[in-house]
A and B are shown apart, each in its own frame.
Chain A
Amino acid sequence: MTRNRVLLSAALLLASSVLPAMADDIVLGGSAPMSGAQAEFGQSQIDGAQLYFDQLNEKGGIKGNKVVFRPLDDRADPRQGTLVAQQFCDDSAVIGVIGHMNSGVTMPALDIYSECGMPQVVPATNPELMRMGFKTVVRPVANDFVQGALPAKYVTEKLGLKTAVLVHDKTVFGQGIAGVFKDNFEAGGGKVSGTHGTNPEDVDFSALIASIKLENPDVVYMGAGMPQLALFLKQMREQGLKAQFIGPDIGFTVDFITQVGAASAEGALMTFQLPPYDSSPELKDFSERHQARFGRAPGPYASLGFANAQVMAAAVEKAEMLDREGVLAQLHGVTVDTLLGPVAFDENGENTTAPMYLYVVKDGKFELIKQ
Chain B
Amino acid sequence: MFDYFLQQLIFALAIGAIYGLIALGYTMVYGVMRLINFAHGEFFMLGPYVYTFIFSGLVGLGGLAPVLDSAIAIVASFVIIGLLGVAIERFAYRPLRAYGRLAPMLSALGMSIVLQSAVRVTVGPQPVHFPAIVPSTPVAALGGMVTTVQLGILAAAVLLMVGLTLFVNGTRLGIWIRAASESWTTSSLLGIRVNRAVSLVFFIGPGLGAMAGIMYASYYGIMQPTMGSVIGLKAFTAAILGGIGSIPGAMLGGFLLGAIETFGTAFLPILSGGLIGTEYRDVFAFAVLILVLLFKPAGLLGETVSEETTVAKKDY
Q: Chain A residues in contact with chain B, CB under 8 A?
A: 36-37, 39, 170, 194-199, 201, 203-204, 206-208, 210-211, 214, 226-227, 230-231, 234-235, 238-240, 255, 258-261
Contact = CB atoms under 8 A, between A and B. Distances in A.
A240 B129 CA distance: 22
A210 B270 contact: no
13 contacts: A36-B125, A39-B126, A194-B274, A198-B279, A199-B279, A203-B220, A206-B15, A211-B270, A211-B278, A214-B4, A238-B138, A240-B145, A255-B126
B11 A207 contact: yes
B278 A198 contact: yes
A302 B269 CA distance: 43
A153 to B, nearest CB: 27
Given A197-B277, A197-B278, A198-B278, A208 B265 contact: yes
Contacts, number: 85
Of residues A194, A214, A238, which shows the largest number of chain B Cβ atoms within 10 Å of its Cβ?
A: A238
Interface in B6-32: 7-8, 11-12, 15
A230 B222 contact: yes
Given A207-B266, A211-B270, A239-B138, 11 more contacts: A207-B8, A207-B262, A210-B4, A211-B265, A211-B278, A226-B127, A230-B221, A234-B221, A239-B145, A255-B127, A260-B221
Contact of B15 (A36, A194, A204, A240): A204
B4 A201 contact: no
Contacts of B282: 199
B56 interface: no
B46 to A, nearest CB: 18
B147 interface: yes
B279 A206 contact: no
B138 A206 contact: no
Contacts of A259: 127, 129, 221-222
B230 interface: yes
A196 B11 contact: no
A203 B281 CA distance: 13
B145 A238 contact: yes
A354 B261 CA distance: 43
B170 to A, nearest CB: 35
Question: For chain B, what secondary structure do more than half of its interface residues adopt (helix, strand, loop), or is it mixed?
Answer: helix
Interface residues of B, number: 34
B195 interface: no
A230 B266 CA distance: 21
A201 B8 CA distance: 21
B278 A208 contact: yes
Interface in B208-238: 220-222, 224, 227, 230
B136 interface: yes
A195 B125 CA distance: 31
A318 B4 CA distance: 66
Contacts of B8: 207, 210
A231 B269 contact: no
Contacts of B127: 37, 226-227, 255, 259
Contacts of B222: 203, 227, 230-231, 259
A30 to B, nearest CB: 22
Nearest to A237: B138
Contacts of B277: 195-197
A358 to B, nearest CB: 25
A170 B277 CA distance: 11
Contacts of A234: 220-221
Given A206-B11, A207-B11, A207-B265, A196 B278 contact: yes
Contacts of A39: 126
What are the nearest 6 A-B pairs in CB distance? A207-B265, A197-B279, A206-B11, A227-B127, A207-B262, A207-B266
A231 B219 CA distance: 10
Given A204-B220, A227-B222, A238 B279 contact: no
A39 B125 CA distance: 10
A65 to B, nearest CB: 39
Contacts of B125: 36-37
A36 B117 CA distance: 12
Of residues A204, A214, A231, which shows the largest number of chain B Cβ atoms within 10 Å of its Cβ?
A: A204
A240 B4 CA distance: 14
Nearest to B1: A214
Interface in B237-265: 261-263, 265
A261 B263 CA distance: 28
Nearest to A168: B279
Contacts of B261: 207
A210 B138 contact: no
B187 to A, nearest CB: 41
A267 B170 CA distance: 55
Nearest to A260: B221
Contacts of A230: 221-222
A226 B127 CA distance: 9
B274 A210 contact: no
B279 A240 contact: no
A352 B174 CA distance: 73
A259 B281 CA distance: 25
